[in-house]
Amino acid sequence: MICERVAEELKERFREARAVVVLTGAGISAESGVPTFRGGGGATVWRGMPVEKIATPEMWRADPVTFWQWYAYRREVIERAEPNAAHRAIAAWERQFERLTVITQNVDGLHQRAGSRKILELHGSLWRVRCLQCGLNMEDRRVPLPEIPPRCPSCGGILRPDVVLFGEVVPETVFSRAVAATAECELFLVVGTSAVVYPAAVLPVLAKQHRAFVIEVNPETTPVTGIADVTILGRAGEILPHFSPEGHGGG
């Protein structure tokens, strides 16, 4: 619950805002049954290895079988998952704010399935694969994968998911669009991210520097909590449906 005064202020902000950005992380998909990376205390490990070690180009090269077993597992979990009330609330806002940009660190595609259209996928998508040998880049929604590691249909090379792995650069075009949307928004929501992964974690700071009103929604405090105007401690699926530009903001 949040106090009446804050709820009033949030209603006002939602009514007034024209350009809005929502930065999401793995936590927004938690209520869809998709495991987070760090939320809830324990770092996610796979076969005893932390995600920061598996989701790397080194791992893809050194042990493509283990690498792809993790991605195949996540594809299976995500394929069975449904967008939750938080994804759906954000999709509904697209029709109510003049400009709404979803900047997501997630690779699960649940924002698209909830109906959002203006989405910047900072870290790519689990549902696209690419081949380093011949440059093929295609959508691949096969669950289960026919073989591990999956091979390129045109040259037989080992495919990789079209995601930004640790140590890889977020594509310049995507990140510069994320920076532009952040710099011009009045309202910046940060939902379900532990805000430890860079460069995504820079965006809330940038929003603050451009005098946006920053609202964080997370059951736990994070490094963003220190700079946010309001932090609502709670689950995205419960909180976000209460916000809407029609003006009933807050929990």
Binding segment toward ligand BV8, per CB under 6 A, in 139-147, 177-185, 190-198, 242-250? 190-198
Give the count of beta carbons closer than 10 Å to the beta carbon of residue 207: 26
Least separation in angstroms between CB 150 and Zn ion = 11
Name which of 13 and 74 has its Cβ closer to ligand BV8: 74
Catalytic-labelled residue, pool 123, 210, 242, 248: 123
Contact string (CB under 5 A) for Zn ion, positions 155-184, x = contact: x-x---------------------------
Q: In what order do the strands lie in the sheet with 137-139?
A: 137-139, 124-131, 159-163
Give the count of beta carbons closer than 10 Å to the beta carbon of residue 66: 16
Note if 123 is an active site residue: yes
Taking each helix axis as running N to C, give the angle between helix 202-209 and helix 172-184, from 0 to 180 degrees, rounded to the nearest 10: 30
Helices (H), the chain: 4-16, 51-54, 57-62, 64-80, 85-93, 110-114, 172-184, 202-209, 236-239
From 83, 193, 213, 249, residue interacting with ligand BV8 (rule: CB under 6 A): 193
By CB under 6 A, tell whether 52 contacts ligand BV8: yes
Report the interface residues with Zn ion, using CB under 5 A.
131, 133-134, 136, 152, 155, 157
Annotated catalytic residues are: 123
Report the interface residues with ligand BV8, using CB under 6 A.
25-28, 30-31, 36-39, 52, 55, 105-107, 123, 163-169, 192-194, 196-198, 217-220, 222, 235-237
